[in-house]
Amino acid sequence: MPSITYFQPDGTHTTLDVDPATSVMRAAVNAGVPGIIGECGGQAMCATCHVYVRPESLSGLPEPSEDEEEMLDCTAAPRHPARSRLGCQIACGEADALAVDVPTDQV
């Protein structure tokens, strides 16, 4: 089973074993990982599941859709040109592991 690791701004982290298709947002919300809200339930509409994907996890991810792209301009914490993604739009897929940094603000 692949895993997702969430690194918090205070330096702590949580690792979750997940189904390959479970999104970074859904896994975090179900497990109560702080700092990932997912208000809109995964329709790329609220920008409250913003994460910074760690560089080593970037290569396997699909490009952001148009909906995700516009929403990344609406995040509470600054957008990073390469690493910012919506957690509801990415999952492990083929990868064994994903590592993401949780931003300081979602609202």
Positions in the binding site for other proteins (CB under 8 A)? 29, 37, 39-41, 43, 45-46, 48, 66-67, 70-71, 73-74, 76, 105-107
HSE-up of 95 (CA within 13 Å, CB side)?
A: 19
Q: Is the Cβ of residue 23 or residue 106 nearer to other proteins in the bound state? A: 106
In the complex, minimum distance from the CB of residue 57 to other proteins, in angstroms, rounded to a whole number: 26
- For 38-92, strand residue ranges (E) read 50-53, 84-86
Q: Is the Cβ of residue 37 or residue 100 nearer to other proteins in the bound state? A: 37
Q: Which residues contact 48 (CB under 8 A, 6 or more apart)?
A: 36, 37, 38, 39, 40, 76, 106, 107
Q: Is the Cβ of residue 71 or residue 92 nearer to other proteins in the bound state? A: 71
